[in-house]
């Protein structure tokens, strides 16, 4: 991990209240992996105070060594509103890469990638990586309705689900995977996911029923982002205390966490 001042390269609107940010990556920092995140500060004022975490949605380095990282974010509070106001050329205080990335699928495992909302960015990054590694992932993304679809080029073959059926398949990514993924023990499956707690809880239960490997990325409020403050704790599924989203995660094995539980 490294702290640096990043130059913003692009910060475009991709849907109502959603943006895609790209910034120059510091060549002295490690290259981010899918599932990892960075924290940023868009102001040096004392309010809003804390850094905000964002998961990477992509990373690319050119032949000359110049690299850019990107993230897809929802404008939903003071800090993201300030971020949305930054134009290309502006500077952003960045710390990253942080957290544990998604692990690669095991030999012979068929990867399904499911999510939506704030999970979109890291899942697109993972999908691109798995395609590049010829792992043939199935990407299943859920949205509220057709109007909520972002104006970004989704990879060919992406399954789009909407709650109201106004675009793609009706229902949630979990419904789609339950119907279309091979049944239990009929070929190994690994599900990757990032999204709202109830969705992760449903998918964790499906994965457990069908004996699939599952790796999910969690969301939690953070203060430090580096494992020191114990603020971003998530309850363990076995009831034995908590794990830190920032340093033990944000990617966890599906059975490790009581997803969607507040306790």
Q: Contact positions toward other proteins, by CB under 8 A? A: 1-3, 41, 46-51, 93, 95, 220-235, 240-242, 247, 262-263
Smallest gap, in angstroms, from Cβ of residue 69 to other proteins? 18
β-bridge partners, 162: 143, 170
Minimum distance of other proteins from residue 228's CB (angstroms): 4
DSSP 118: G
Task: State which residue, 137 or 250, has the beta carbon closest to other proteins.
Answer: 250
Tell me the closest approach of the beta carbon of residue 238 to other proteins, in angstroms.
Answer: 12
Bridge pairing between strands 91-98 and 37-41: antiparallel
From the CB of 144, what's the least distance to other proteins, in Å?
A: 18
Q: Which residue, 142 or 225, has its beta carbon nearer to other proteins?
A: 225
Q: 90 or 135, CB closer to other proteins?
A: 90
**1 versus 104: smaller Cβ distance to other proteins:** 1
Cβ proximity to other proteins, 30 vs 209, nearer residue: 30
Residue 139, number of CB atoms within 10 A of its CB: 25
Closer by beta carbon to other proteins, 3 or else 205: 3
For 9-61, give the DSSP string.
EEEEEEETTEEEEEEEEPTTSPPP-TT-EEEEES-SSSSS-S-EEEE--EEEE
Q: Is there a contact between 91 and 9 (Cβ–Cβ < 8 Å)?
A: no
Q: Residue 127 or residue 256: which is nearer to other proteins going by CB?
A: 256
Beta carbon of residue 229, minimum distance to other proteins (angstroms, whole number): 6
First-last CA distance in the chain? 31
Pairing outcome for strands 37-41 and 52-55: antiparallel
What is the radius of gyration, based on Cα positions, of the chain?
18
Buried residues in 7-40 as b, exposed as e (16+ CB within 10 A): ebeebeeebeebbbbbbbbbeebeebbbbbbbbb
CB of 80 to other proteins, least distance (A): 12
For 42, the token pair is: 């868009």
Q: Report the residue number, 2 or 185, with the smaller CB distance to other proteins.
A: 2
Distance between alpha carbon 30 and the CA centroid of its chain, in Å? 18
Give the three-state DSSP class for 106: coil
| Pairing between β-strand 233-235 and β-strand 213-217 as defined by DSSP bridges | unpaired
CB of 100 to other proteins, least distance (A): 14
* Nearest distance, CB of residue 222 and other proteins, angstroms: 8
| CA pair distance 83, 62, nearest whole angstrom | 26
């Amino acid at each position: 991990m490294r702290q640096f001042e990043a130059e913003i390269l692009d910060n475009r609107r991709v849907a109502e209240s959603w943006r895609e940010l790209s910034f120059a990556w510091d060549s002295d920092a490690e290259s981010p992996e899918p599932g990892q995140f960075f924290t940023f500060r868009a102001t040096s004022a004392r309010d809003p105070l804390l850094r905000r975490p964002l998961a990477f949605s992509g990373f690319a380095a050119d032949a000359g060594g110049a690299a850019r990282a990107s993230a897809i974010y929802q404008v939903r509070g003071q800090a993201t509103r300030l971020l949305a106001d930054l134009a290309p050329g502006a500077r952003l205080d960045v710390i990253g890469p942080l957290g544990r990335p998604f692990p690669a699928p095991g030999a012979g495992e068929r990867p399904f990638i499911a999510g939506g909302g704030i999970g979109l960015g890291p899942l697109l990054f993972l999908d691109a990586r798995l395609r590049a590694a010829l792992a043939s992932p199935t990407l299943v993304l859920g949205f509220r309705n057709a109007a909520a679809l972002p104006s970004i080029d989704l990879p060919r073959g992406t399954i789009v689900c909407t709650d109201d059926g106004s675009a793609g398949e009706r229902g949630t990514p979990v419904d789609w995977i339950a119907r279309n993924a091979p049944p239990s023990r009929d070929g190994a499956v690994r599900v990757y996911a990032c999204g709202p707690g109830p969705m992760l809880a449903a998918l964790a239960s499906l994965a457990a029923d069908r004996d699939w490997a599952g790796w999910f990325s969690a969301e939690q409020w953070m203060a430090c982002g580096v494992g020191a403050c114990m603020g971003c704790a998530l309850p363990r599924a076995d009831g034995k205390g908590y794990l830190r989203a920032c340093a033990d995660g944000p990617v966890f094995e599906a059975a490790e966490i009581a997803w969607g539980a507040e306790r």
